[in-house]
Amino acid sequence: MTEARPRLRRTVGDSLEDFERDLISNLYYQRGTTIESASGPDGYHTLAVTVRDRLVDRYARTAAAHYAANPRFVYYLSAEYLLGRQLRQNLLYTDTERWVRPIAEDLGVSLEALEVYDVEPGLGNGGLGRLAACLLDSMATLDIPAVGYGIRYEFGIFKQTFRDGQQVERPDDWTFYGNPWEFPAPDDRQLVGFYGTTKADPKDPTGLKKHWVPGETVRGEPSHMLVPGYGTQTVNIIRLWQARASRESFDLARFGVGQYVEAVDDIVKAENISKVLYPDDSTELGRELRLKQQYFLVACSLRDIIRRYRLRNSGWEGFADKVVIQLNDTHPVVAVTELMRLLVDEHGVGWDEAWTITRRTFNYTCHTLLPEALETWPVRLLERLLPRHMEIIYAINHFFLEEVRAAYPGDEDVVRRMSVIQEGDERRVRMAHLAVVGSTAVNGVAELHTKLLAETTLHDFAALWPERFHNITNGVTPRRFLRMANPRLSTLITEALGDEGWLTDLERLHGLGTAADDPAFRAAWRDVKRQNKVELAAAVERSTGVLADPDALADVMIKRFHEYKRQQLKLLHVITMVNRIRADPQATYVPRTVLFGGKAAPGYHAMKLLIQLVNAVADVVNTDPVIARHLRVVFPPDYNVTKAQFVIPAADLSEQISLAGKEASGTGNMKLALNGALTIGTLDGANIEIRDRVGADNFFLFGMDAPAAAALRRSGYSPRSFYEADFELRLAVDTIASGAFAKGDRSVFAPVVEAMLGRDEYMALADYRAYVDCQDTVADAWTDTERWTRMSILNTARCGFFSSDRTVREYCEQIWKVDPVRVNP
């Protein structure tokens, strides 16, 4: 929304000639160069701004429509966004690719050559950040008035390289060459305080209103990126905050006496807040700077939300009618206390009214079950960094525990369990509890996840407030992950279904069900997959030097490296295949290419060693002429959204093998199934719902379910007993222990073996036999090409449910209660 009613002045035309004229003009006046002397980056930036201008037009009309309608807005608060490359998306969404191709050809450049300059903003770690991007895409597509708020990290998720097979992290300086998709909005900057003291308000008899005098202030400078909807005029925005030192930070006195470094001390400290994304996925990292980041995001965003509210509204009674804030996991949960502080301390709203408004405003999405991922912050840290917020937390907790005591008289145990404060040697604030207490709705991200949340992690809360709990199964945008990633399959689908309506109504893929029985369609389907595999093989060869056979079964495991996801189990299977081939080189084997992709958190040593082992196994496999005839292992470095878009369309088999009960949902599983990969998976997260929909016959299920895994753990799990009872498992583990993947050095991978035989926290050994047997079933199924193709088609046909459009509709109906606003062309 702009400050005033925008006066529309459309400046871009909508013909090829207009586009070409704008391109040349932008090259000349914006980039300051000519066709004759333009470089690749000149071409890219010029194309980007020319496409972007088309979106600006729509954005101006969206802002005007929103201003006129004064609707209820969704504000999505997330510490992470993985938006992916923007150029192709925006060409598709503005329908300008059809002009760009001939114009580029005329000028002797290819779109592909320009696209290498399109840097992916890596402002997230994995599924949680990509989900945020998919939801924003779907909100815009469904004309939902929405703004995403995040942090403009100067360095995004690290770039992964391999040195001697080991992960080496390099900084991701993503804006080095400039970001053409971003608009700075310096007028909307905000001031954020930290540290300092609080003072009582002598005029406030309740003692609940206070005055905070921060000890340090930092400026938040916003910029935004456009988030277009597909097939509609709506363009929403994502607003990203960057930390800047406030003007007084430069110490001129020190500079004057030659203390040049000390003079900028405060500037460096302030700007460090948005310097780097924490490269952590699913584990908590207790660091002061991270808490500073969280509060920085929240403080800037809430002030901006209030600013926007006040453009068309006044008074606080109506605030929660116009504003709904979705908290993406606990990372922005300090917002609950910040809104209370703003209302009570700064705007003079009484505590009870403020609490009603706050609770009505917020909703919380939980993305995990892992206890180590549940954020808690030391009380002492909060007292120092955010003294007023800590007082507010105590007050919220006080009133909340009164409610608990009223519900369970005499039960101090439940009070202790539910308290926002965790008692112990070091008292800590439980952010998930604060989130539930301060929200109207709480949701899990897949059916099993929501059920386990209500039964375990948040059990007491679900018992007290059952009406707050919802399940909203994740989804993925079919635009990026089918239409853009897999243009060949998209064309085939459109031909089969008659039009492109499936792109915004993904359940229409069901129409492919009958085509699965048509041999000609199956042949065409196979042909698309093969072409995708040829292309991927070429890209993989360029990045790894290993040539993969496009006719081999493409078996892919692409996700963050984490013990619960069980890359170690996949590796045991690979080593078992190696051992079998060695034992009987003459037998026939289904040729496979196993592709790994993913990063490990830089401090996660066990998983970094596993990455090293994957690379070592790959070396042995690919250079042994006997084994390499049947098996290849490839691990292209630096898996990200861009690479996902290459790999997913070429996959035959999708590895979703987490220990049941650990993966909240997964979204890679949906992207792969939607692109016709068959899943080998456990009954975990959204795998269950995928299998329910594609049918048990079209899904390779193995392993313990969540109750079985819990029962085995209770009974005292001993990985060694599984090791001893299974010859092939023993051989696989012993092969690692023997030093076979470290030139005979037994010490290098000894910790991997110890982890497996010692604790095996995620019970990979217990599921090994079922997994390997299931892989044999996969190999058998692969040999029946027609049947495999049918299964593949049915996976695509039946995965329409997993569109993030459906996810957003469910959020709208169950939680947000927002209505779309149509934007006129």
Does residue 667 have an active-site annotation?
yes
We find the least distance from the C-beta atom of residue 98 to ligand 73E, in angstroms, to be: 35
Say which of 376, 667, 682, 807 is annotated catalytic.
667
**Site membership for ligand 73E, residue 473 (CB under 6 A):** no
Instruction: Name which of 198 and 326 has its Cβ closer to ligand 73E.
Output: 326
**Site membership for ligand 73E, residue 655 (CB under 6 A):** no
Does residue 451 have an active-site annotation?
no
Which is nearest to 325 in space by CA: 204, 124, 491, 148? Answer: 148
DSSP for 711-724 reads HHHHTT--HHHHHH
Residue 506 to residues 287, 326, 486, 500, 807, Cα–Cα distance (Å): 42, 25, 15, 10, 12
Residue pair 496/513 in contact (Cβ under 8 Å)? The answer is no
State the pairing for strand pair 323-328/362-365: parallel
12: Cβ–Cβ under 8 A, 6 or more apart, which residues? 18, 22, 53, 54, 57
| Euclidean distance between CA atoms 821 and 825, whole angstroms | 13
| Euclidean distance between CA atoms 598 and 108, whole angstroms | 36
Say which of 130, 428, 560, 573 is annotated catalytic.
560
Stretch that binds ligand 73E, among 337-345, 586-594, 634-642, 663-671 (CB under 6 A): 663-671
Say which of 308, 483, 562, 565 is annotated catalytic.
565
Stretch that binds ligand 73E, among 276-284, 309-317, 590-598, 700-708 (CB under 6 A): 276-284
We find the least distance from the C-beta atom of residue 803 to ligand 73E, in angstroms, to be: 15
Instruction: Name which of 154 and 663 has its Cβ closer to ligand 73E.
Output: 663
Q: Which of residues 291-330 bind ligand 73E (CB under 6 A)?
A: 329
**Site membership for ligand 73E, residue 665 (CB under 6 A):** yes
Whose CB is nearest to ligand 73E?
Answer: 127
State the pairing for strand pair 216-228/182-184: antiparallel
- For the record, the structure tokens of 276 come out as 């780097």
Residue 779 burial by Cβ neighbours in a 10 Å radius (0-12, 13-18, 19+): middle
| Euclidean distance between CA atoms 643 and 645, whole angstroms | 5
Residue 461 to residues 83, 403, 416, 680, 794, Cα–Cα distance (Å): 34, 12, 13, 35, 40
Which 8-state DSSP code applies to residue 64? Answer: H
DSSP for 92-137 reads HHHT-HHHHHHHHHHTT--HHHHHTT----EE--SHHHHHHHHHHH
Say which of 671, 691, 790, 806 is annotated catalytic.
671
Q: Which of residues 515-574 bind ligand 73E (CB under 6 A)?
A: none
Give the number of residues in contact with ligand 73E, rule: CB under 6 A.
20
**Site membership for ligand 73E, residue 332 (CB under 6 A):** no
Instruction: Name which of 457 and 612 has its Cβ closer to ligand 73E.
Output: 457
For 813, other C-beta atoms within 10 Å of its C-beta total 11
| Euclidean distance between CA atoms 628 and 485, whole angstroms | 29
Q: Which of residues 423-452 bind ligand 73E (CB under 6 A)?
A: 445
User: Looking at 38, 48, 60, 131, which residue binds ligand 73E (CB under 6 A)?
Assistant: 131
- For the record, the structure tokens of 365 come out as 């999405």
User: Looking at 474, 612, 698, 789, which residue binds ligand 73E (CB under 6 A)?
Assistant: 474
**Site membership for ligand 73E, residue 27 (CB under 6 A):** no
Does residue 367 have an active-site annotation?
yes
| Euclidean distance between CA atoms 783 and 777, whole angstroms | 10
Q: Which amino acid is at 647?
A: V
**Site membership for ligand 73E, residue 676 (CB under 6 A):** no
User: Looking at 57, 182, 281, 555, which residue binds ligand 73E (CB under 6 A)?
Assistant: 281
User: Looking at 645, 656, 667, 682, which residue binds ligand 73E (CB under 6 A)?
Assistant: 667
Stretch that binds ligand 73E, among 356-364, 657-665, 671-679, 720-728 (CB under 6 A): 657-665
Stretch that binds ligand 73E, among 32-40, 122-130, 147-155, 262-270 (CB under 6 A): 122-130
For residue 197, report the phi and psi dihedrals to the nearest 5 degrees: -135, 165
| Euclidean distance between CA atoms 397 and 429, whole angstroms | 10
- For the record, the structure tokens of 140 come out as 């815009």
**Site membership for ligand 73E, residue 477 (CB under 6 A):** no
| Euclidean distance between CA atoms 436 and 443, whole angstroms | 10
| Euclidean distance between CA atoms 160 and 162, whole angstroms | 7
Instruction: Name which of 126 and 550 has its Cβ closer to ligand 73E.
Output: 126
What letters, b where the CB count within 10 A reaches 16 and e where it falls short, cover 413-448? ebbeebbbbbeeeeebbbbbbbbbbbbbbbbbbbbb
**Site membership for ligand 73E, residue 279 (CB under 6 A):** no
Does residue 292 have an active-site annotation?
no
| Secondary structure of residue 598 in the 3-state scheme | coil
Instruction: Name which of 124 and 719 has its Cβ closer to ligand 73E.
Output: 124
User: Looking at 23, 103, 104, 128, which residue binds ligand 73E (CB under 6 A)?
Assistant: 128
| Euclidean distance between CA atoms 513 and 528, whole angstroms | 17
Instruction: Name which of 146 and 357 has its Cβ closer to ligand 73E.
Output: 146
Say which of 239, 367, 573, 691 is annotated catalytic.
367
User: Looking at 280, 655, 760, 767, which residue binds ligand 73E (CB under 6 A)?
Assistant: 280
What letters, b where the CB count within 10 A reaches 16 and e where it falls short, cover 163-200? eebebebeebebeeeebbbbeeeeebbbebbbebebee
User: Looking at 43, 84, 121, 127, which residue binds ligand 73E (CB under 6 A)?
Assistant: 127
Angle at 729 between CA 559 and CA 782, to 5 degrees: 60
| Euclidean distance between CA atoms 423 and 433, whole angstroms | 14
- For the record, the structure tokens of 575 come out as 């080593």
Does residue 322 have an active-site annotation?
no
Instruction: Name which of 85 and 130 has its Cβ closer to ligand 73E.
Output: 130
User: Looking at 229, 685, 719, 800, which residue binds ligand 73E (CB under 6 A)?
Assistant: 685
We find the least distance from the C-beta atom of residue 476 to ligand 73E, in angstroms, to be: 10
Residue pair 177/272 in contact (Cβ under 8 Å)? The answer is no
**Site membership for ligand 73E, residue 137 (CB under 6 A):** no
We find the least distance from the C-beta atom of residue 602 to ligand 73E, in angstroms, to be: 14
- For the record, the structure tokens of 288 come out as 């002061």
Mark 81-120 with x for binding to ligand 73E (rule: CB under 6 A) and - for no binding.
Answer: ----------------------------------------
User: Looking at 282, 622, 675, 792, which residue binds ligand 73E (CB under 6 A)?
Assistant: 282
| Secondary structure of residue 182 in the 3-state scheme | strand
Does residue 457 have an active-site annotation?
no
Stretch that binds ligand 73E, among 274-282, 592-600, 674-682, 800-808 (CB under 6 A): 274-282
User: Looking at 125, 294, 326, 654, which residue binds ligand 73E (CB under 6 A)?
Assistant: 125
Stretch that binds ligand 73E, among 111-119, 318-326, 660-668, 675-683 (CB under 6 A): 660-668
Stretch that binds ligand 73E, among 21-29, 665-673, 717-725, 732-740 (CB under 6 A): 665-673
Instruction: Name which of 367 and 468 has its Cβ closer to ligand 73E.
Output: 367
Q: Which of residues 724-783 bind ligand 73E (CB under 6 A)?
A: none
Instruction: Name which of 27 and 134 has its Cβ closer to ligand 73E.
Output: 134
| Euclidean distance between CA atoms 93 and 96, whole angstroms | 8
Tokens 């910040």 belong to 338
Stretch that binds ligand 73E, among 63-71, 174-182, 454-462, 661-669 (CB under 6 A): 661-669
Mark 366-395 with x for binding to ligand 73E (rule: CB under 6 A) and - for no binding.
Answer: -xx----x----------------------
Instruction: Name which of 96 and 328 has its Cβ closer to ligand 73E.
Output: 328
| Euclidean distance between CA atoms 35 and 170, whole angstroms | 35
Residue 617 to residues 302, 421, 613, 736, 767, Cα–Cα distance (Å): 50, 47, 6, 9, 21
We find the least distance from the C-beta atom of residue 369 to ligand 73E, in angstroms, to be: 9
Active site residues: 367, 559-560, 565, 667, 671
Interface residues with ligand 73E (CB under 6 A)?
125-128, 131, 280-282, 329, 367-368, 373, 445, 474, 663-667, 685
